[in-house]
Structure formats: C-alpha cells, structure tokens
Structure 1
Amino acid sequence: MTFSQLLTILRARYKVILTTLLIVITATVAVSLALPKTYRTSTTLLLNYKGTDPVSGHVLAAQLVSGYMATQMDIVTSRSVALKAVDTLGLVDDPAFRQRFQKAANGNGSMRDWLADSLLKMVEVAPSRESSVIEIIAKGSDPAFTAKVANAFAAAYQQLNLQIKVEPLHQASQYFSGEVKTLRAGLEEAENKLSKYQQDHGIVSTDKNLDVETARLNDLSTQLVQAQGQSIEASSRGSQAMGNGGRDSPDVTSNMLIQSLKASLATAEAKFAMLSQNLDRNHPQYQAAKAEVDRLRSELNNSISSTNNSVANNGRILRQREAEVRAAVGAQTAKVLQLNRARDELSVLGKDVESAQHAYDAAMLRLSQTELEGNANQSDVSVLNPAATPMRPASPNVLLNIVLSILLGATLGLALAILAELANRRVRSSNDLLKVLQAPMLGTIAWGKPARRSGFSSLFLSQ
C-alpha cells in the first residue's frame, strides 16, 4: 500500500476516523470528570549528616551519600514515622476516622496501625540528585489534610531522627555512669593501698632527693672516708714510732717537751763530761751531775715512750672509729636499700593510683559529653519548605487527558479505517484497478457530482 492509496482510503473513511476520535475524546472527558480529584503537595527536608561514635566520641568515616540517603528514605516511609504522624495529627480521637475504621476492619486490630498503613499509602519520598535534600510527597482527596499529612511526616521524621541520635547517647551515658562508679571505687582502693603502705613503711615522700635516710648514708660515707684516711695516717705514725725506739717519729720530733728535755740532757751531759775530767766518781759534784743526767735521760725516755704510746692509742681509736663508721654505713646502706625497695613498691602503687585517676578523668569527661549530647534537642534534619495546601488537583489532568485522547482516538480511528478497508476492499484509483484486473488501462473518466442548479438557471434553460 502506497502513501497515495493510504490517503485515498483515509479520505474515503474519514467518517469512521472522526467518529472514533469523537467517541474517545468524549469518553476521556467523561471519565476524567467522573474520577475523584487527587491533590498533591510536598515538604522539602535538608539532611545534615555526620558520623560520630556515641561511645568513643570519635568521628567516623563519612558515609556514602547514596547509602545514607537511601537509609533516610526508608526511615521516612517506616511504620515508626507513620505511627508518630498518626499521634501528631490526633487521628485516633477523630470520630470520622473511627467510623472509617469500624467500616473497614469491623473494629478488629489496632486503629493506630490501620491509620499508619493508610497514611503510608498516601506518602512517597523522592531524593534530590547529588544533594542532601529529600522531598516528602503526599497525595489525597482532601487538600488540607494532604498538606497536614506531609508536614506531620516531616515532624515525625525529625522526632525519630533525634530519637535515633539521642537513645544511643542515653545508653552510653548509663554505661559511663556505671564505669565511673567502678573507676571511682578502684581509684579509692588504690589511694587507700598507697596511704596504708606509706604508713606501714614510714615513707613520707617518694622523692629520693628529699629522703633523710639517703642524706644520712651520704654523711656516713663521708665520715667513713675521713676515718679511713685518719686510720691510715695513724697506722703509718705508729709504724714509725715502733722503729728505732720511736725516737725518729714525727710526733716525737715535733713534741716541744721532748725537744726541751733533749736540750737539757745535752747541757747536763756536757757539764757531766767536764766534771768527769776533773773530779772523781765519789765527788759530790760528780755524783750530782751524773744523777742529773740520769734523771733527764729517764724523763726523755718516758716522754718518748708516752708520746709513742699516745700515737699507738690514737691509731687504735681511729681504727675502732673506722670500724664503727663502716658498720654504721653498712647498716644505713641496708636500711636505704630496704627503703628503696619499699619506695619502688610505693612507686608501683603510685602509678596504679595515677592510672586509675586518668581512667576516671577520661570516663568523667565522656560521661559529661554524652550527657550534654543526650540532652540536646537539635535534630540533623531541617525543614526547607513546609507543605502548603494545594489549590488545584494534581489528577485527573483534563487537558492532558484530552490531548492524549486526541492522539489515541486518531490512532485508533486510523487503525479502524484501515481494518474496514481491508475487510471490504474497493477500487478507489486507477492503480487499484490495474492491481486487481492485471490488465492495461486504456483511459479514465473524471467523474464528479453534478452541480446544483439554481431556480433562475433552470428557468433560463427551459425557455
């Protein structure tokens, strides 16, 4: 079938096409006017999403926008949000909705659940592309109620979003409260152990520089060094005093009395020598001079012996002093070592107290933070554009339906015209005749309807 043949068929069957088109348009208009009107409105929400662990307080890795938005859309259309919206609108106490529930469910089941299911059928959620904005769309027959439903879902979603954020914080706060009590008890126990240990061992300070016993040990060590030096010196002097009768020892040579006796003895010996040359042994002067020399020599020997004995006694005293100081140093060293061991144990207990204090402070800080965040009433959801009462119904769209019915009616009319032509094929052009008879065509007669004649022209022709 060529295009010219198609035009010929459409020209011949135009009544079928027009009739079909009119029927479709009329039916569409009638159905559009008969259908109930549906109103559409929407609420736009902005999501300020962030990730924070309510227990540790650490900032988590940012969620993928697509996954987060999908999660929030599922939350908006959840039964929990719908139930909160039912409570916000107060539909349970509405007599009209009670009557509808009685007719629909015959009083069986929960009215809140039935209302929540009914509201969920009215609501759908649409996300914005590449943004944190979602749109809550509500559709219904009552424009005012539809707007209330959209706003109620937005408010219910805000409440649930805040509840989802706050409930973990409340649980974390309870957890930290218990931990704080446990850590406080541990801190008190560690402090009591530290205090008792200090009392039992008599340790006032853990600083070794401020320890009296260590200072005493240092003082005794100094005294021991001095005593050792003095003992060595006394031993050396004693050795010299024991050699050569002790006459060449420094203590003897430095003794003024001995030097005086030596001088007197030398004088007496010189006098005695002179007298011994001139006098006999029995002479009184000779015997007096000899007695004087013997007396001075005896005094000198006694003085030297006394000096050497004094040096020897001093050496013994110094060695005894050295031994006593050494014993005192040993005892003080043992005492300081024992004190150091006690101080080391005390340091461990002090570190336990410090660790318990740090843990307690950290728990108290997290407890304060979680309590502050848990008492916050700020949601991450903000309402950008609340739903307004729609003035015009969203459906049915009569004008759009008429346009669609024109396209459908024209298409259906063309199809019916072609089917009718195929069912009752006619010769409508010379090409059709050639195709049917398969014979050459000699000529064509152009035929048209006779023109209508007016009264004046017929009168003229009759004359």
Structure 2
Amino acid sequence: MNLSQFLLILRARKWVVLAVLLTTVLVTVAVSLLLPKTYKATASVLLNYKGMDPVTGMTMPSQLLPGYMATQVDIISSKNVALRVVDALGLANNPAVVAQFQESTGGKGTARDWLADLLLKKLDIVPSRESSVVEITFKGTDPAFVAAVANAFADEYQKISVQLKVEPMKRAAAYFNDQLKLLRDNVEATQARLSKYQQENGIVSVDNRLDVENNRLNDLSAQLVAAQGQLMEASSRAGMANGSAESPDVAGNPLVQNLRIGLGVAEGKLAELSQRLDRNHPQYQSAKAEVEKLRADLNAAIKSTTNSVGNNAAILRRREADVRAALAEQKKKVLELNRTRDELNVLVKDVEGAQRAFDTTSQRFSQTRLEGQAEQSEIALLNPATAPIAPAGPKVVLNASLSLLLGTMLGVAMAFVLEMLDRRVRSAADLAETLEIPVFGVIDWNKTKHAHKRTGLNALIPRRLRLN
C-alpha cells in the first residue's frame, strides 16, 4: 500500500474516523468531568548532610555518598514510616475507615497495614538532582487531608531518621558497658598478680636493682682478673724462691742483704785471724762463732723470706678462689634477677594490655553513649505542605488534547479494519494491481468537472467495483 491508496482509504472512511474521534473526545471529556477532583500537597525537606558525623567527627567514605539520597527516599517510602503516619493521624481509630476496611478486605489483616499500603500508593517522592531537597507529595480528594498526610510523612521521617541513628548507638553503648565491667575486673586481677609477685620477690625497682647487681658483677669480674694476675706472679715468685737464695724476693730482702754483708765481714775477719792465730785461740773461736751465728741467721732469714713469698701466693690463691666463688654467686643472682625481670615484664605487659583494652573500650563507650544521646536530626522541614486551593486533577484540557490524538489513531485504525473487512477499488491502480490487467481509461462521474469523450473500455468500467 502506497501513500495515495492510504489517502484514498481515509477519504472514503472519513466519517468513520470522525465518528471515532468525536466519540473518544466526548467520552474523555465526560469522564474527566465526572471524576472526583484530586488535590496534591507537597512538603519539602532539606537533608543537611555533609558526610561528617557531628559527634565523632568521622567522615563517611566518598563512595557511600551517592547512595545516601536513594537511601533516604527508600526510608520515606517505607511501610514503617507509613504506619507511624497512620498512628500519628489516628486513621485506624476512625469508625468509617474501619468499616471501609472491613468491606474492602473482609477483615483480613489489620486496618493499620491496609491504610499504610493505601497511603504509600498515593505518595510520590521526588529527590532533587542538583540539591539536597526532597519533595514529599501526597494526592487525594480532601485538600486538608492531603496536606496533613504530607506533613505527617515529613515529621515521621525526621523522627525515624533520628531513631535509626540513635537506637543502634544505644545498643552498642549497653554492650560496651557490659564489656567495661569485664575489662575492669581483668585489669584489677592482673594488677593484683603483679603486686603479689613484687611482694613475694621483694621487688621495688627491678631495673635499678639489676643495674646495681650488674655493676657488682663487673667489679667482681675485674677483681678476679686482677687476683688471677697477682696469683700468677706470686706463684712464679714462690716457685723461684723455693730452695733458691737467688730469687728476687730473697735477694731484695734488706735483712738478708744486711746479714750477707755482716757474714762477709765476719768471714773476712775470721780469715785474717786464721792466718795469725791458732784455731784454739779465743779470738779465733769467737770470730768463728760469730760467722756461724751470722750464717744461721742468714739461712733463717732466707727461709723466712721464702716462706713469706709462699704464704703470699697461698693468700692470693685463696683470695682468687673467694673472688671466683663470689663472681659465680653474683652471676647466679644476676641470672635470677633477669628471670624475675622477664616474669615481671610479662605481668607488666598483661597489666598494660588490660589497661589499654579498658581505656579503648571506655573511650568507645563514651563516644557511643554520646551518639546515643544526641537526638539531633540532619533533616530540616524546608516547606511545610499547605492545603491546595486548586485541584491537581482531572485536567480536562490536557485529557481532551490527548483524546484528540488517541481518537485520531483509533479512527484511522478503525478505518483500516473496515477496509480490510470490505475491500473496494479506490483507484485505477487498485484495479490493475488486483486483476493484473492494464487500465485504458477511467470514467469520471463527478459532474462538477468537464466531461470528456471516452471510447473503448472506459464506458464499461463503473465508478466502484466490489472485489470478492
């Protein structure tokens, strides 16, 4: 079908198109006039949200901010808010509403749920794209009622937003309060173990005591090294002095030196007397006795000096053993102090860990308790809803305009349906296409136009032919 055929069909079925169009427009206008008038009331709320908690100062991650507005829209349109609106307005206590509920549902369910669902069906929430304003619109037949419902949704939304923020904090604060009691008992128990351990071991300041004992250990180590050096030297001198008169200790003794000098003088005097006197001469005997006495004194002095060196070596050996024993005892004491310090450090760390956990929980408890008590809403009522003066619908002009378009489409569709049911020849092209024979002429039955002479088949073709 081409455009010319389409226009021919519309011209032939123009009265059908006009009848359908007129019927559609009349029905639409009549229905619009008969429908009850509907009113819309809008309450605007402002979301003063900056992504920061006013109590804790914590900032919400930036990836969560885009979904904030959608979350608030879902909260406003939730059934919980609708139920709170029903309770706030006392709709479920109205006998007429209860009777309507019984008639509509047959007593199934509750009137509150039924009313909440009805309110949500007539509620429209429009968030702004460029601002933080959300418009809460409610439509109905009563101007005062729609304004009251819109304002009630805004008020209950503010209240439930505070409740949703405060109630979890209150539960968290109660949990932290219970944990604080356990952590406080833990701190007291660990502190008691630490104090008991200090009392049992007599520890006042283990670090200072350990420093003193370490210094004493270092001193004993130095004394042992010095005693070992002195012992080695004394042992060497004792070994040289044992049975030898030429040892440095013996030779350097002043008494031995004096006796040796006296012995030499006496021996020289005895040698001189032996040349002049006989052995039995009293002077010779006297000089000889003096030499023997000096030699005996010298031997005694040498022996005494040797014994003195040996005794000194024995004293140093005993002192070295004493220092070694004291050093071993001091090492044992230092090791015991190290073990005590390690055990004490474990107890101290237990106390510090318990105290740290208690402080952290206490800080968190204070913060959550403060958040649970901060009943401040970040939502403000920007424009309260007022009872509308003019109805929002039905819009007769708009409906009539739309009915023109719809009636035209329906008329055209009806014309084509009728044409398909009763197909007729509208032009020579239809005849040529249907019979598949050429058309040589057309008789014009329109008397307003000039008549033309036609011959042949033109006189035999009527104006319309029915196609079966």
For the superposition of Structure 1 and Structure 2, which TM-score range results when normalised by the shorter chain? 0.7 to 0.9
Question: Do structure 1's residue 231 and structure 2's residue 228 form an aligned pair?
Answer: no
Taking the aligned partners of 1:292 and 1:363, their CA distance within structure 2 comes to 103
Would you say the 8 A contact 1:51–1:63 is kept in 2? no
Q: Give the match for residue 102 of structure 2.
A: 105
Determine helix, strand or coil for the equivalent of 1:216: helix
Would you say the 8 A contact 2:158–2:379 is kept in 1? yes
Would you say the 8 A contact 1:51–1:62 is kept in 2? no
Question: Do structure 1's residue 163 and structure 2's residue 163 form an aligned pair?
Answer: yes
Specify whether residues 146 and 9 from structure 1 end up closer, same or farther in structure 2 by C-alpha distance, changes over 3 A only: closer
> Which segment drifts farther, 100-109 or 195-204?
100-109
The code of the aligned residue for 1:239 comes to G
Q: Give the match for residue 145 of structure 1.
A: 145
Specify whether residues 6 and 344 from structure 1 end up closer, same or farther in structure 2 by C-alpha distance, changes over 3 A only: closer
Specify whether residues 285 and 379 from structure 1 end up closer, same or farther in structure 2 by C-alpha distance, changes over 3 A only: same
1:155 positional shift: 2.4
Specify whether residues 384 and 441 from structure 1 end up closer, same or farther in structure 2 by C-alpha distance, changes over 3 A only: same
Question: Do structure 1's residue 334 and structure 2's residue 335 form an aligned pair?
Answer: no
Specify whether residues 58 and 268 from structure 1 end up closer, same or farther in structure 2 by C-alpha distance, changes over 3 A only: farther
Q: Give the match for residue 372 of structure 2.
A: 374
Alignment of 1:45-84 (within 5 A): 45=45, 48=49, 62-63=63-64, 65=66, 71-84=71-84
Specify whether residues 318 and 21 from structure 1 end up closer, same or farther in structure 2 by C-alpha distance, changes over 3 A only: closer
Taking the aligned partners of 2:444 and 2:310, their CA distance within structure 1 comes to 176
Q: Give the match for residue 349 of structure 1.
A: 347
Taking the aligned partners of 1:260 and 1:421, their CA distance within structure 2 comes to 168
Would you say the 8 A contact 2:13–2:415 is kept in 1? yes
1:397 positional shift: 0.8
1:239 positional shift: 0.6
Alignment of 1:32-43 (within 5 A): 32-43=32-43
Determine helix, strand or coil for the equivalent of 2:242: helix
Q: Give the match for residue 216 of structure 1.
A: 216
Specify whether residues 262 and 140 from structure 1 end up closer, same or farther in structure 2 by C-alpha distance, changes over 3 A only: same
Would you say the 8 A contact 2:10–2:415 is kept in 1? no
Specify whether residues 177 and 2 from structure 1 end up closer, same or farther in structure 2 by C-alpha distance, changes over 3 A only: closer
1:60 positional shift: 6.5
Alignment of 1:247-326 (within 5 A): 247-326=245-324
Taking the aligned partners of 2:309 and 2:428, their CA distance within structure 1 comes to 168
Taking the aligned partners of 1:439 and 1:329, their CA distance within structure 2 comes to 143
Q: Give the match for residue 460 of structure 1.
A: none
Query: What is the TM-score normalised by the length of structure 2?
Result: 0.76
May I ask how many residue pairs the two structures share in their alignment? 432
Specify whether residues 2 and 323 from structure 1 end up closer, same or farther in structure 2 by C-alpha distance, changes over 3 A only: closer
- Structure 2 unaligned residues grouped into runs of 5+: 431-438, 450-468
> Which segment drifts farther, 327-336 or 1-10?
1-10
1:177 positional shift: 1.9
Specify whether residues 396 and 300 from structure 1 end up closer, same or farther in structure 2 by C-alpha distance, changes over 3 A only: same
The code of the aligned residue for 2:63 comes to A
1:7 positional shift: 4.4
Determine helix, strand or coil for the equivalent of 1:387: coil
Q: Give the match for residue 185 of structure 1.
A: 185
1:283 positional shift: 2.1
Specify whether residues 192 and 302 from structure 1 end up closer, same or farther in structure 2 by C-alpha distance, changes over 3 A only: same
1:250 positional shift: 1.9
Taking the aligned partners of 2:227 and 2:381, their CA distance within structure 1 comes to 93
Would you say the 8 A contact 2:92–2:98 is kept in 1? no
Taking the aligned partners of 2:278 and 2:6, their CA distance within structure 1 comes to 196
The Cα offsets for residues 127-173 of structure 1, whole Å up to 9 and x where unpaired, read as 55698664432111122321221222122223223322222222222
Specify whether residues 85 and 274 from structure 1 end up closer, same or farther in structure 2 by C-alpha distance, changes over 3 A only: same
Determine helix, strand or coil for the equivalent of 1:335: helix
1:222 positional shift: 2.1
1:102 positional shift: 4.3
Taking the aligned partners of 1:128 and 1:404, their CA distance within structure 2 comes to 28
Q: CA RMSD in A?
A: 4.2
Would you say the 8 A contact 2:32–2:394 is kept in 1? yes
1:424 positional shift: 12
Would you say the 8 A contact 1:206–1:347 is kept in 2? no
Specify whether residues 59 and 403 from structure 1 end up closer, same or farther in structure 2 by C-alpha distance, changes over 3 A only: closer
Would you say the 8 A contact 1:39–1:390 is kept in 2? yes
Would you say the 8 A contact 1:126–1:136 is kept in 2? yes
Would you say the 8 A contact 2:161–2:377 is kept in 1? yes
Taking the aligned partners of 1:441 and 1:364, their CA distance within structure 2 comes to 105
1:214 positional shift: 2.7
1:441 positional shift: 7.4
Taking the aligned partners of 1:416 and 1:223, their CA distance within structure 2 comes to 127
Query: What is the TM-score normalised by the length of structure 1?
Result: 0.77
The Cα offsets for residues 370-420 of structure 1, whole Å up to 9 and x where unpaired, read as 222222223454555543433321111122123334455666778889999
The Cα offsets for residues 322-363 of structure 1, whole Å up to 9 and x where unpaired, read as 112212222222222222222222222222222222222222
Taking the aligned partners of 2:147 and 2:387, their CA distance within structure 1 comes to 5
Determine helix, strand or coil for the equivalent of 1:396: coil
Determine helix, strand or coil for the equivalent of 1:269: helix
> Which segment drifts farther, 148-157 or 404-413?
404-413
Would you say the 8 A contact 2:213–2:330 is kept in 1? yes
Specify whether residues 373 and 444 from structure 1 end up closer, same or farther in structure 2 by C-alpha distance, changes over 3 A only: closer
The code of the aligned residue for 1:171 comes to R
The Cα offsets for residues 279-299 of structure 1, whole Å up to 9 and x where unpaired, read as 122222222222222222222
> Which segment drifts farther, 190-199 or 372-381?
372-381
- Structure 1 unaligned residues grouped into runs of 5+: 433-437, 449-463
Specify whether residues 439 and 289 from structure 1 end up closer, same or farther in structure 2 by C-alpha distance, changes over 3 A only: closer
Would you say the 8 A contact 1:46–1:382 is kept in 2? yes
Would you say the 8 A contact 1:45–1:382 is kept in 2? yes
> Which segment drifts farther, 209-218 or 135-144?
209-218
Specify whether residues 278 and 391 from structure 1 end up closer, same or farther in structure 2 by C-alpha distance, changes over 3 A only: same
